[in-house]
């Protein structure tokens, strides 16, 4: 889509101190995936870049290797280079390893994982037209220039103010020249400032949804990003047990008076078995046969409410939490209506959810099939789980 070769330098050599972590904030997990992985993936999937260079502190190289093993991350990264003592040094190190025939380079913060293809495209367009392009957003607060002692000295026209982000894009030769003219001991908070020093005006790029391209810096930023709407995951469960004499009939933890009961290794609570399978299915964690094998004597005669509690703990250990459950018990006799409220309470209490998030229903099959003939009881469930 372009005849010019475009590359990207991702700067992630900072620390997490302002975010309150004792590690580099780009390694922080955001709803199950690291900030850095999200950022690199977004850049690579945009399809624009020939090379992606990652700048990391020496002390983070090990953490990065572990991340790659864990998340299968970042095959798109062509070089990893060590950062310097300042942001400007780190950027220089990244720029220096790019292929010399690079036409355009975008410099991006590793702590901005919400970068989109449209934003990248807009920056590249501006670099092609104007020689530079820097993502920016309008400023919503009124801004004061201060005298440094707590007094405002002027109020710039807000409509002319822009807050700048990354990516910041430049002709590769220009930004190399700007950096080599920039003093080793000088510092700048962004690359546009380095460029401006040498080439005057930088083009400010208006990109769609740039306000979403936040830099994760403070604990509040991380909390907001984590509370972004998360799609629930849905699972289904189905189970059947045979009705026999001399067994208790336990359904959703309720001892239902009846002349027969369900046969099974545990208490044979067919309804809870369907619920557990739905929960495990939603998290893609297998099924209850896998978690609580029949062959294990510990589970002989055990209350399925205990197994449901174990299922909840297993979900939690994998970063999931149950959100809602709906189960239908297919049973000709006995009538279950008097027990439904207690059944819902049992599930709600065990899963630590409000009763209003638990559905329990019972139906007959008009005397059709094994349930209708009273040979057994079946149950079907759906459940949703969300990432914590
Ligand atoms: Mg079962």
- pLDDT tens digits in sequence order for the chain, 388 residues long: 457 899 999 999 876 566 667 788 898 888 778 899 999 999 999 999 999 999 999 989 888 888 888 776 566 788 999 998 888 999 999 999 999 999 999 999 999 999 999 999 999 999 999 999 999 999 999 999 999 999 999 999 999 999 999 999 999 999 999 999 988 788 888 999 999 999 989 999 988 889 899 998 877 788 788 776 667 899 999 999 999 999 999 999 999 999 999 999 999 999 999 999 999 999 999 999 999 988 888 888 899 999 999 999 999 998 889 999 999 999 999 999 999 999 999 999 999 999 999 999 999 999 999 999 999 999 999 999 987 6
For residues 210 and 17, give the distance between their C-alpha atoms in angstroms, rounded to a whole number. Answer: 25
Judge if the upstream peptide bond of residue 49 is cis by omega within 30 degrees of 0: no
DSSP classification of residue 201: P
Strand partners, 105: 7, 170
Q: What is the DSSP string of 122-146?
A: HHHHHHHHHSEEEEEEE--S---EE
For residues 326 and 278, give the distance between their C-alpha atoms in angstroms, rounded to a whole number. Answer: 9
Pairing of β 320-330 and β 358-363: parallel
Å from CA of 208 to ligand 1 middle: 52
- Give the closest residue to 353 by CA, choosing from 317, 311, 318, 312: 312
Phi-psi label, residue 275: left if phi above 0, alpha if psi -120 to 50, beta otherwise: alpha
For residues 294 and 291, give the distance between their C-alpha atoms in angstroms, rounded to a whole number. Answer: 10
Å from CA of 259 to ligand 1 middle: 20
Phi-psi label, residue 16: left if phi above 0, alpha if psi -120 to 50, beta otherwise: alpha
pLDDT tens by residue, 171-185:
999 999 999 998 878
Angle of helix 191-199 versus helix 172-181 axis, rounded to 10: 90
Residues 6+ apart with CB under 8 A from 228: 31
Q: Retrieve residue 343's tokens.
A: 């059944």
Q: Residues 307, 311, 312, 316: is their CA dihedral positive or negative?
A: positive
Å from CA of 64 to ligand 1 middle: 44
Q: Retrieve residue 44's tokens.
A: 């690579």
Instruction: Name the H helices within 12-113.
Output: 35-45, 61-71, 87-96
* Residue 237, H or E segment: strand 233-244
For residues 386 and 388, give the distance between their C-alpha atoms in angstroms, rounded to a whole number. Answer: 6
Å from CA of 254 to ligand 1 middle: 16
Residues 6+ apart with CB under 8 A from 118: 207, 208, 209
Å from CA of 311 to ligand 1 middle: 14
Å from CA of 270 to ligand 1 middle: 5
Strand partners, 133: 169
Q: Any idea how long the chain is?
A: 388
Å from CA of 273 to ligand 1 middle: 5
Report the SS3 class of residue 36.
Answer: helix
Instruction: Name the H helices within 156-303.
Output: 172-181, 191-199, 219-226, 270-282, 288-291
Would you say 9 and 107 are in contact if contact means Cβ atoms under 8 Å apart?
Answer: yes
Distance of CA 47 to CAs 33, 51, 101, 117, 124, Å?
A: 21, 11, 19, 8, 12
Global confidence as pTM: 0.60
Angle of helix 340-351 versus helix 270-282 axis, rounded to 10: 40
Give residue 122's Cα distance to chain centre: 26
Å from CA of 136 to ligand 1 middle: 58
Å from CA of 368 to ligand 1 middle: 21
pLDDT tens by residue, 143-195:
999 999 999 999 999 999 999 999 999 999 999 999 999 887 888 889 999 99
Would you say 345 and 295 are in contact if contact means Cβ atoms under 8 Å apart?
Answer: no
């Amino acid at each position: 889509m372009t005849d010019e070769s475009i590359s990207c330098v991702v700067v992630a050599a900072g620390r997490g101190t302002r975010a309150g972590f004792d590690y580099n904030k780009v390694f922080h997990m955001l709803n199950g995936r690291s900030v850095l992985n999200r950022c690199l993936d977004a850049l690579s999937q945009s399809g624009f870049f020939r090379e992606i260079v990652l700048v990391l502190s020496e002390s983070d190289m090990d953490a990065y290797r572990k991340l790659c093993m864990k998340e299968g991350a970042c095959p798109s990264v062509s070089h990893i280079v060590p950062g310097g003592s300042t942001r400007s040094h780190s950027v220089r190190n990244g720029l220096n390893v790019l292929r010399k025939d690079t036409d355009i380079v975008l410099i991006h913060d590793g702590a901005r994982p919400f970068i989109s293809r449209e934003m990248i495209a807009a920056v590249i367009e501006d670099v092609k037209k104007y020689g530079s392009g820097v993502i920016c957003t309008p400023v919503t607060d009124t801004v004061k220039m201060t005298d440094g002692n707590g007094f405002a000295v002027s109020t710039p026209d807000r409509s002319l103010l822009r807050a700048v982000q990354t990516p910041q894009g430049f002709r590769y030769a220009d930004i190399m020249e700007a950096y080599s003219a920039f003093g080793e001991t000088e510092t700048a908070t962004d690359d546009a400032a380095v460029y401006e020093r040498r080439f005057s005006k930088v083009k400010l790029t208006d990109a769609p949804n740039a306000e979403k391209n936040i830099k994760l810096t403070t604990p509040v930023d991380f909390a907001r990003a984590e509370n972004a709407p998360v799609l629930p995951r849905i699972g289904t469960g189905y189970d059947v047990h045979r009705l026999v004499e001399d067994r208790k009939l336990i359904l959703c933890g309720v001892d239902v008076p009846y002349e027969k009961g369900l046969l099974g290794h545990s208490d044979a609570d067919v309804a809870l078995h369907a619920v557990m399978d739905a929960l495990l299915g939603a998290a893609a964690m297998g099924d209850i046969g896998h978690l609580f094998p029949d062959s294990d004597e510990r589970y002989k005669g055990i209350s399925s409410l205990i197994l449901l509690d174990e299922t909840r703990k297993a979900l939690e250990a994998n970063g999931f939490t149950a959100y809602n459950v709906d189960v239908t018990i297919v049973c000709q006799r006995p009538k279950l209506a008097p027990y439904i409220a207690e059944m819902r309470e049992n599930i709600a209490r065990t899963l630590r959810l409000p009763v209003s998030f638990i559905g329990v229903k019972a139906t007959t099959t008009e005397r059709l099939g094994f349930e209708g003939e009273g040979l057994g009881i079946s149950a079907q469930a759906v459940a949703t789980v969300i990432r914590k």
